Structure 1
């Protein structure tokens, strides 16, 4: 059975792609993005398979 680990990542709207690319290089897959605590910030939910 596959097992996953999860992380929440704050995203700044002016650097979203760079942040997601960095996490993606480490094997994290984007699951969802929701609004953050202020208009300049989003929160990404990510997962990756446990080794």
Structure 2
């Protein structure tokens, strides 16, 4: 099973999640992203509302 990957827009620092890198930033339309590496806590941070530990 594939997990979500997290990508940070290099222009505006918005974080996008998905199975693949987005084509463009939804906020500023930039196309350069840096992937957050596994083990950075991104999953825990971005899914905490789904688990109820706000």
TM-score, structure 2 as length reference: 0.29
Q: Hey, which of these two has a bigger chunk of strand by percent?
A: 1
TM-score, structure 1 as length reference: 0.30
**Structure having greater relative contact order (Cα 8 Å, sep ≥ 6):** 1
